[in-house]
A and B are shown apart, each in its own frame.
Chain A
Amino acid sequence: MKPAMRTLFISAILLLSLVSTCKTPAHAEDQTLEYKVKAAYLYNFTKFVSWPALSLPEDRQPINICVAGKNPFGSLLEPLTRMKTQDRSITIENIKDVRDLEKRSCQMLFISSSEQGGITELLRKSAGMHILTVSDIDGFAQHDGMIGFAIKDGKVRLEINLRAARKAGLAISAKLLEIATVIP
């Protein structure tokens, strides 16, 4: 099951991403499974990352997960809003325009592969806002992104740029670092 899902996952990435170097033809179901996993990972990240109080005060403010660009999850993020993490509820928000980012209070920002072109602008804008940036754009972590999804041995692996996270005032648990590839 997992190798099949992985295959679908990769196919979906290749289909959705214009700059993708996907060699395997995509399959709609595989893609859905891949994003299901990624949606679960997004949820799990909230448990290994600490936001500074400035960004996330102690008033049961929900953790707002923003998706920039074309939403690859579809309705897969819906279940997250019914779950709780660190005693907080989760909200999902789509951001169409980069300018909206400043108006929004986002704790986590998933940058869709559709925003590959404006990625530098997005990262620059979010940098001062203590936002954990996540993306499945290839080489995201190498280019000042914080957590990047990568497919390795048919499995979704994580690449973490610790310097970028620290710069944004975020503390990433060593446990997460342990299972990820840390970009210096």
Chain B
Amino acid sequence: MKKNVFKDLSIKKKLPLIVAVTCLSALLLSGIAFLAHQRRDTRTALVEHISTIAKVIASRSTAALVFEDKKTAAENLAVLSQLPQIDEAGIFLEDGVLFAIYLKPGHRAHWPTQISHASFYAFNAGILEHYEPIELDGKQLGIVYIQTNLTQYNQKLLEQSGFAIFITGITLLIAYLISRRALKNISLPITELAALTRQVAEENDYTVRAPAQSSRDEIGRLVDDFNNMLIQIEKRDIALQESKNRFRTLLDQAGDAFFLHDPEGRFVEVNERACDSLGYTREELLGMSVFDIDAEAREKSHKDTVWDILVPGQPKTIYGTHRRKDGSTFPVEVRIVLVEEGDNRYLQGLARDISDRLKADTEKEKLEAQLRQAQKMEAVGTLAGGIAHDFNNLLSPIIGFSELILLERSVDNTGTKRIREILSAANRAKELVKQILTFSRRSEHKMAPLMVQPVIKEALKLLRSSIPSSIEIQQNINPECGAVLADPGQIHQIIMNLCTNAFQAMPDQSGTISVSLSPIVLAQADIASKVGLQPGHYLKLAVEDNGQGIDPESVKRIFEPYFTTKEKGKGTGLGLAVVHGIVKNYGGEINVYSEPGKGTRFNIYLPVVCKETAQEKELPEKPLQTGKEKLLLVDDEAQITYFGQSFLETLGYQVTACNDPTEALNLFSNDPNRFDLVITDMTMPKMTGALLAQKILSVRKNLPIIMCTGFSETMDEETAKRFGIRAFLMKPVSSHDLATTIRAVLDIQ
């Protein structure tokens, strides 16, 4: 206990105390040693002193003994009266007989019962007894006995001890005072350092510094090192704080909600995102457990499943549902990982709201389906286009020769009538091929900015007269709509096809067809579900009926060519496919919404090009034009060249027909000025029409060339004109078109 008191003392008190205790011990030891030595010394001195006196007396008493002079012997002893500490003395003879005595006045003799015959002294109970033999010439004559009282001697010793203690006390006090002052140099810096350390520890303030010491001893270095340590800790503290702040910012700015909870599910740490997504404050969340927000987690099962399967450092992704403060829930993807900090285990979760993603996934699936559909349509279109091209070539002679026969009038009325039937059927077939090409987007149409309102109104007017009056046609055409890049005939065809379908969807021939046109601006968000559209200004053309509707399975395939739900013979299966082709060709989009029994709505979006109005030009019917110029007709198919030559010669032209482009080129090269006009097919073996034209033009730059083609991937009207080709005719070429184009080209010359 006492030791602990000393331990708990401050250094300021401890050091002087240690010095004082050390001094005290040293002084006490030296004092004791001194006193012991002093005592021994004094005793030795006393013994020597008495012994000397005894020897003197013994020596002086020899004669007195030899000559039996008791008086002299007693006189010899009487000198002892000068020494007051001697109580009694005597001279004994050899046989122990007392020969002479000395007694201090007032002292009562206590002679020893047994005397020593040798020189001897002994301290006994406060007295010193001394025996000294009296010898003469080697023979012992007697003994001198002296008894000394030690009272005075002891008194003196006591006085010395007292003095020593006094000196010790004084020395100690002085030593304490000096050391207290001197030790301040040591204890003060240490005390200050200790106070500073406590301040640092209690206030966590690492910016404070100990006052620098002037001394370069251990304490000076200690203070310097301590300050250096503080500087380092402060730096580390700042770095730690910065790092903490960075992580806090990172955590709070993270896109995912962060949760850290203990095995009981209690939240230990959450980030701002977690608070925002759930609608709680940070404080609220930290007072809650994972079971309060996880709509599916149950304490028991959670612990059994999650905690047991997790391995620290190996994250797992789980899916669940989180519940907001307002009770609403949302799907989450949580990346969980087990975190071990010492003995504590935590579950760390990064939760992401996947509502949008799930929605987007659904959307994506839909888009993919649409894309697949579009690709299918494309494939079908390619196939149909190829067929149509060949079919066109077959139609050309049918139509051409029919027209030729009629022109020649070499048949009778019945024949003429029959040929007209052939011509009619061939023209219908030509129309069909045209539609297929339209669907496959391989037809060539004049695309120009067009205000579609009058076209729609015109078409509806036509429809009104062709469908029963029991069916109401509502129109809501916004006159403010801008122009689209379109062909009026195709717009007309779209309205006709859609409305015909609508009418046919009404088996009892009653209902309402409503057609509306309105401008619409599509933003990025709006086109997400519409393949192939760019954000911008559009026209929205909606055709709606309240007919029988279309079943969902049919809706998927509704734009496929030759897909029809109609009875055999009632529809071609090309109507909607053609509409789809036109709209796609215009960079637009068509979609359908239908409910069986309720009706169907088609929405068409066409991109607006500009506001300016384009007027549809009507081409008036004219008689076939004639001429006398020399023409070169090139086509690899003899049938076509034969028909063309016959037809054009009928019109008055001088025609040279050629089935080989190489031969044609030779004919031309032999006499470049022989022809006024070249009419060539595009697709030919050996040499394409384009190459032929190029070679001809390289010789005669201004020779007019008309290019005929069923379909050409590399040649459209624009390209043809750039090559220097004057005109471009679509096969099967009608006599009317051919005659008109030839005249137009020649007349420009």
Tell me the A residues contacting B by CB distance below 8 Å.
41, 44, 47-48, 85-86, 155, 158, 173, 175-176, 178-179
Contacts and interface: CB of A to CB of B under 8 A. Distances in A.
Interface string B53-71: 0000001101110111100
Nearest to B75: A178
B63 A173 contact: yes
Interface of B: 59-60, 62-64, 66-69, 72, 136-137
A175 B137 contact: no
A179 B68 CA distance: 9
Contacts of A41: 67
Contacts of A85: 137
| Cβ-closest 10 pairs across A and B | A175-B63, A179-B69, A44-B66, A179-B67, A179-B72, A179-B63, A47-B137, A176-B63, A178-B72, A179-B64
Contacts of B60: 175, 178
Nearest to A85: B137
A150 to B, nearest CB: 13
Of B63, B64, B136, B137, which is in contact with the most chain A CB atoms at under 10 Å from its CB?
B63
19 contacts: A44-B67, A47-B66, A47-B137, A48-B63, A85-B137, A155-B68, A173-B63, A175-B59, A175-B60, A175-B62, A175-B63, A175-B64, A176-B63, A176-B67, A178-B60, A178-B63, A178-B64, A179-B67, A179-B69
A48 B66 CA distance: 11
Contacts of A178: 60, 63-64, 72
Contacts of A173: 63
A155 B71 CA distance: 13
A158 B68 CA distance: 12
A158 B67 CA distance: 9
Nearest to A86: B137
Question: At the interface, is chain A mostly helix, strand, loop or mixed?
Answer: helix
Nearest to A40: B66
Of A155, A173, A178, A179, which is in contact with the most chain B CB atoms at under 10 Å from its CB?
A179
Given A175-B62, A178-B60, A47 B136 contact: yes
Of A48, A155, A175, A178, which is in contact with the most chain B CB atoms at under 10 Å from its CB?
A175
Contacts of A155: 68
B179 to A, nearest CB: 64
A78 B136 CA distance: 22
Nearest to B63: A175
A130 B136 CA distance: 24
Nearest to A48: B63
A179 B136 CA distance: 16
A47 to B, nearest CB: 5
Contacts of B136: 47
B241 to A, nearest CB: 109
Contacts of B63: 48, 173, 175-176, 178-179
Contacts of B69: 179
Nearest to B68: A155
Given A85-B137, A175-B59, A175-B64, 16 more contacts: A41-B67, A44-B66, A47-B66, A47-B137, A48-B63, A86-B137, A155-B68, A158-B67, A175-B60, A175-B62, A176-B63, A178-B60, A178-B64, A179-B63, A179-B67, A179-B69
Nearest to A43: B66
Contacts of A48: 63
B94 to A, nearest CB: 15
Contacts of A179: 63-64, 67, 69, 72
Nearest to B59: A175
A42 to B, nearest CB: 12
A132 B521 CA distance: 176
Nearest to A46: B137
A179 B60 CA distance: 10
Of B59, B64, B67, B136, which is in contact with the most chain A CB atoms at under 10 Å from its CB?
B67
A83 B59 CA distance: 22
A176 B72 CA distance: 11
A85 B68 CA distance: 19
B291 to A, nearest CB: 127
Nearest to B61: A175
A179 B64 CA distance: 6
A48 B67 CA distance: 11
Nearest to A155: B68
B336 to A, nearest CB: 125
Contacts of B66: 44, 47
Contacts of A44: 66-67
Nearest to B67: A179
A41 B66 CA distance: 8
Contacts of A47: 66, 136-137
Contacts of B64: 175, 178-179
A79 to B, nearest CB: 15
Contacts of B59: 175
A65 to B, nearest CB: 16
A58 B72 CA distance: 33
B60 to A, nearest CB: 6
B390 to A, nearest CB: 181
Nearest to A173: B63
A47 B136 CA distance: 8
A44 to B, nearest CB: 5
Nearest to B60: A175
B507 to A, nearest CB: 185
Nearest to B66: A44
B698 to A, nearest CB: 178
B194 to A, nearest CB: 83
B93 to A, nearest CB: 15
A85 B139 CA distance: 10
A96 B122 CA distance: 58
A48 B61 CA distance: 12
B66 to A, nearest CB: 5
Nearest to B139: A47
A40 B66 CA distance: 9
Contacts of A175: 59-60, 62-64
A60 B67 CA distance: 26
A86 B72 CA distance: 24
B288 to A, nearest CB: 125
A44 B137 CA distance: 10
B582 to A, nearest CB: 175
Of B62, B64, B66, which is in contact with the most chain A CB atoms at under 10 Å from its CB?
B66
